[in-house]
Structure 1
């Protein structure tokens, strides 16, 4: 038996300590059983968590610590898209300064930003699974800050100074308060400490799959594409989210000039037109959180009662329990497009199309959150790769679709142009009901092995 230092909150699994599997099936970060092939639970050189309540395991952190990390991640999720959308009202001034006449090129100035969302995850997702989330956050935060400052002077560029200030604050806060959350990296760090303190070079992490960093990186790049090409639920999620994301950036690139032309708003006032998306998204977040929590608690209670009646342990909650809000999002997205398009076409009071964008924003948010949480619950340890595969598709469509905005509006007008988008979204309304009904079958029938 390998002796463990008293100061370490680590369990070295041995023949005297038989680990009990976690009730969270399929999530190796919560399990205490090794992930490598073969029965190695009696191996004295396997380093695991110090019990199911080990405070070093991120799942067991204090609530305040979890909240702080969630707030920091949420702040980043808010800031990075802001880099493109916040600049959208200034596109007209940029075109004047650089003597640009192509409105499609003006749209591309906004949408090209999201091409980085397609390329970035393919590199940084596998790196985060090798070196951890923390170092990736810190490095990319500094890069974002540096390039944002490079884009800032006065005039329309003042937007980038605001982004630089926000980015600088979040970057420093991240350095001070954030903590590593990726279980394989945390266990590997503990294993290295134990090797130094015990002199036992044969110790290895319970979650160590025995691959070199190069192998992890190559596999990490290939994994999102395997998910995207061979997992039906990944394909469905990617295409549906991509549609809403493409519509969102189409609006970002076209809303300001259209509002200026129709309602004669100035550049500053045109920026306020985006409040509809902001308010709608906030409503969508609140509605999603409330509905999702209520539904999951209901299903958990039903499962507990059924398990008690059958005399067994309750089974884990299914990822499909995250999807009910998706049905509302599917209905709201086309509804918002119809409201926005026809009220703007008939030049109804400016608040009417803004309400349309709010409805669209709420629907888009519920679609996005439902599928994101579904992928996280489905792929657990490899959720970063699942989200990366989703990000690639949605980011490409988000960058390309806005280029068609002004040609479409010129040919069809605001009413029928947005109705065309709405009809496409309406055709996909049955998808949430189909995924709720057949998602579990697809998830198990086309499970990807050897990720």
Structure 2
């Protein structure tokens, strides 16, 4: 029997209603539409969602949501900071432990590997059990304690092990922050909110090498880890006292539509493979492949800068740290402008289409950045190859950083818009694959650079990135149809 409601169902009622609706040429239960919202309805005048229950976190006061956003943005700083604060000190670490440049690069690649792997556990657990706050606290403990041990160790392999655990704790803040934003903001506000989240992320990315260079030169590289431990001790009470639980649990507990009907409860099971299974969806896998080519630039650049700037430009540790200002400022500006422009594109579309939109509309905002990225990084490689004046690689680094975040902000927000109920898992996956690839990039960077030169290394990466733009074009053109016709039933089954 078909039930045809006369009004739009609330998020609670969607779990109960078994009305058949047509998406393309496939009939699907409304309860599956929460995983693949092919369109959303907004109030035309206010552009806010019109079906939210009063207690939904999206209806919390603006000041409360702003405080939460600031807290998760601050927490998001520790992952990139912990990565980049290490770079200016790699030569000092190599000399202190009497090891090789390859082993030091292994310590970097291991950190990146666990930065991408740990969020798979965290994202799946957080989405399954609807727990953001407590997972934040556990993650910060896993970050702070190993930071103290790193400051005390005398063996390079113990340092690498502790850095791996530290990476697990710090990287969790990224997918948790994405989940919190999905919990408290409506889609037309998420681009701006993600801009603020990644503002914190790239403040950490920007400040890390500056702080690392100064500490390594003035106090010794062990103070890099003491500094991280202090940051962890500040964030722990901040999260404990000021971050409420943002996940609204009752949307997963359906209520009966009539007194005679029993209450049916969905018992969710934790499955670490849930984020991995999202790779079965073409619009997810193609987007992530493209993003991996951007991460290749970012990580190879970070590994190359300390060595080349020390050997070719004879810069000190502190000045090497300052050169990271160029991409860092580019990240900051690209994140904020990209987020704002992404929201503008989506809002403009909704105003012209009676308040309706679909996630692929947001991809209209990325094309400028897609072209800027390979040009900028290619110029960076050849300016180093010919030992051009320092200003040329600096400008190239800034433009590459700007383009990278101009694109990344919109593509990450696209994933959250497409799968809001799996937001933390989607973000975890979008970090996992690029980090796995980055581990490979970092390990082979020095051998490749020695074999073909830094100019040709970045030329190859630029060509791969340029070709992969076609994948994002395919997502833009086909993504809506894929979600409507092919993958609805599949993702519902994957989450059981």
| 8 Å contact from structure 1 (residues 341, 418) kept in 2 | yes
- Which SS does the other structure have where 1:359 is aligned? helix
| 8 Å contact from structure 1 (residues 148, 161) kept in 2 | yes
| 8 Å contact from structure 2 (residues 110, 439) kept in 1 | yes
**Measured at CA, do residues 186 and 35 of structure 1 come closer, stay the same or move farther in structure 2, by a change above 3 Å?**
closer
Match for 1:165 among 221, 230, 244?
Answer: 230
Q: Which runs of 5+ in 1 are unaligned?
A: 1-17, 23-29, 40-50, 192-201, 305-313
Per-residue CA deviation, residues 316-338 of structure 1 (Å, 9 max, x unaligned), is x2111221232222212211211
Which of the pair has more CA radius of gyration?
1
**Measured at CA, do residues 349 and 370 of structure 1 come closer, stay the same or move farther in structure 2, by a change above 3 Å?**
same
TM-score by length of 2: 0.72
Number of the residue aligned with 2:110? 112
Paired residues for 1:158-307 under 5 Å: 158-184=223-249, 208-211=265-268, 216-218=269-271, 221-228=272-279, 230-304=280-354
| 8 Å contact from structure 1 (residues 247, 401) kept in 2 | no
Paired residues for 1:2-21 under 5 Å: 21=8
Give the superposition deviation at 1:95.
0.6
CA root-mean-square deviation? 2.5
Runs of 4 or more, structure 1, over 6 Å off, are 185-188
- Which SS does the other structure have where 2:419 is aligned? helix
**Measured at CA, do residues 116 and 342 of structure 1 come closer, stay the same or move farther in structure 2, by a change above 3 Å?**
same
- Partner Cα distance (1:123, 1:36) in 2: 29
- Partner Cα distance (1:246, 1:152) in 2: 29
Give the superposition deviation at 1:349.
1.7
Residue 367 of structure 2 is aligned to residue 327 of structure 1:
yes
Q: Which runs of 5+ in 2 are unaligned?
A: 20-49, 153-218, 256-260
- Partner Cα distance (2:334, 2:88) in 1: 24
- Partner Cα distance (2:338, 2:15) in 1: 34
Number of the residue aligned with 1:122? 120
- Which SS does the other structure have where 1:424 is aligned? helix
Give the superposition deviation at 1:390.
2.0
| 8 Å contact from structure 1 (residues 284, 363) kept in 2 | yes
- Partner Cα distance (1:441, 1:20) in 2: 25
RCO greater where, 1 or 2, for CA within 8 Å and sep 6 or more?
A: 2
**Which has the higher mean CA deviation after the structures are superposed, 117-126 or 57-66?**
117-126
**Measured at CA, do residues 319 and 358 of structure 1 come closer, stay the same or move farther in structure 2, by a change above 3 Å?**
same
| 8 Å contact from structure 2 (residues 287, 472) kept in 1 | no
Residue 116 of structure 2 is aligned to residue 65 of structure 1:
no
**Measured at CA, do residues 224 and 185 of structure 1 come closer, stay the same or move farther in structure 2, by a change above 3 Å?**
same
